[in-house]
Structure 1
Amino acid sequence: MRALVHDLALARDGEVPARDLEFTAVDFETTSLAPPGRVIEVGAVRMRGDGTVLAEMSTLVDPGPGVAPGATWVHRITREHLDGAPTMAEVIGDLLSLCEGSVLVAHNLAFEERFLAHELELLGLTAPPLPGLCTLRAARTHLGAGSCQLGALVEAFGLPAVAIHAALDDARACGQLLLALLAPPHELRLASRPRHHRLPVVPSSGRSLPRAAALRAGRRGWMACLMDRLPARGLHPPQPEGVAAYRALLTSVLAQGRITGPKAKLLARQAGRAGMSRADLVRVHRAVLEEEIARAGGPAGPRRPGRPGRRPAPPPRRDPRPAGPVGPVGSAGPARPAGTGGRAADRAGRGPAVRWVFDGRHAVRTEASDVPGVRRNGPTAAHRVRRRPSHRPTPADRVDDRPPLSSRTVTN
């Protein structure tokens, strides 16, 4: 089979700077590791060498009725996801137009090349050689030892992308890895200038079914993760019926007061069925919120911090009881004169009651205030007794502040 991609090399002493060139990072999820396996998801990102993203493409692809999706435990695509998705004949036109006049980029370029050539052959299409770059080959050549898997390199460079075996996310990660190799301190360049040829023009159906995979709440919430997993802007407008169904589902979820993981996945599935992008979600979300504000009867005021849908905490209640001799409820009150504490004062009803509390390591002596239910004096160092294993305090361990026996008055 004739080679479909002409692999360009990256070198430190290359002659062609990549800042002014355009690249298309692609990634395929497939049913097997080699043809005759089929492509079941396509992700592509068109960008400049300075990092400007020009367009994105993401869609599931139906390989045909009854075709198994393959390693579901890897890409998490089931046969149910593929039912109703566009076929390769419907999306190949968008992919070729996105690659027109750019350098094809992939992590393990030979893998994507084999499947792309196989799909073109099944459709009866012939394409001229495409200029391409392999980030896996560049990493092995210029980064030395260490793992060269896409996820490991993304973590090593500290890139904001994620590599989760989803076509769009892996294509984004591949593109960001290329930008990291072109920037200091590596500053790799192309060894030769790419030569572009005219690609076949294939009509597009305008259908797409993007997949928002591996949703996580994280610190930003479910909806932020959902929007990050979809293309920034779609190549075609979404389906009006699907957008209306997504809006109705979002209104129902918001009426329940909280967006949970299962609800976010339902929203993600409906957004994909409608072919919606991140920009489409922003427009629909703004319209729904404005409608809810108008229904509430006024503009939205400042929101108290906390979880969405949770009622704010009520203000603290003031105790209606008058202040006693120890001061208002919750205050320390005046100091107690010496000699008025202990069990003698407890019997007379004039002083605090002694209570022992275990905090796990120590037996702590505490005193309740004169007002029932209010604690005045907490544990102090003088009241703290080291607890021995399997030991409960004995009368000898307690601090007895009664007057000496000789000074007591004995009543017959």
Structure 2
Amino acid sequence: MSPLDLLDVDSSLSAEERQIRAVVRQLVDEQVRPHVAGWYEEGRVPARELAREFGRLGLLGMHLTGYGCAGSSAVAYGLACLELEAGDSGVRSLVSVQGALAMYAIWRYGSTEQKQHWLPAMAAGETIGCFALTEPDHGSDPASMTTRARRDGDDWVLHGTKMWITNATIADVAVIWARTDEGVRGFAVPTSTPGVAVREIRRKMSLRASVTGEISLDDVRLPAAARLPDAVGLKAPLGCLTEARHGIVWGALGAARDCLETTLEYAGSRTQFGRPLAGFQLTQAKLADMAVEWSKGYLLALQLGRLADAHRLRPDQVSVGKLNNVREALAIARQCRTILGANGVSGEYPVLRHANNLESVLTYEGTSEIHQLVIGQRLTGLSAFA
């Protein structure tokens, strides 16, 4: 049993869930850990190669059913996200955006023809998707989006800009959300369509082992069959975000666990004033507090996963998980850095890389403030968004 599992939470996992976790952990140990520090430093990642490997193991859209998807439980998917983010948040983001945003949007809101056309290849990692909701001037306020889609005969014409889109520069299909005369609608847009231009966002200080881009839509003409027929209103993209946030609740724990495991090993072997750092009271107090918060986050994630598998998970409950687990994971990463001292800022150790990544995770798919307001509305019955 891991020393971090203070409450023996692992004992409540099924044999299948533990097996899936072990397979993903081995994949990360073999395919990610030996290379990720270099990817981060260079600001690149072999995303297509990783996607095919993830597809081979059934990790892409693994919690969806049919069309080549594995149909795994929500808890199994969460454990996979945890292990992936123990490698790097950017690697987990690749899987989350592919499966829980782009694939889920098509799976949940698309036509049978759209599902048959896109999902099998996406599940295999041969086709890459992205999810384009955020705009340069509209992040936390998607209701104010300015990207427009207008009818022109039987076609749709899209115009606008999307920003901070994971997988954008390698995507074969982009799920684009746009305002129409009938409200917000979703479209499955092949990125090879004339008028679609993608620019990679460089010089990031966070999520450097992840592909991020800007998508410009200059009067992009699409057939009627490109519209996701069941994606009606802003509720549709927000439903996709709820799906993806569940993976983040688990994933953030992976980054925190990797920081803690690294720090435990370091503190046990690093000698100061004649004894290991781990033998000092202040160090043990820090480790104890972090392990307690990690254990609480693990219990929270597992409860949300069980609710999801019982089809009882509410968006505000996911907000509780995202707010708590990402906030605490970032605090753990920062505290671990203090125990490693100057070595904590070195790329030889993963701690500051995780901390930098978690700064982005704290913001994307709902800032902490947004989730506080979601929870506040649940508690009071009053909306404070406007």
Instruction: Tell me if both proteins adopt one fold, taking TM over 0.5 as the criterion.
Output: no
Q: Which has the larger Rg?
A: 1
User: Looking at both structures, which has the greater relative contact order when contacts are Cα pairs under 8 Å and sequence separation is at least 6?
Assistant: 2
TM-score using structure 2 length: 0.21
TM-score using structure 1 length: 0.20
Query: Which protein has the bigger helix share?
Result: 2
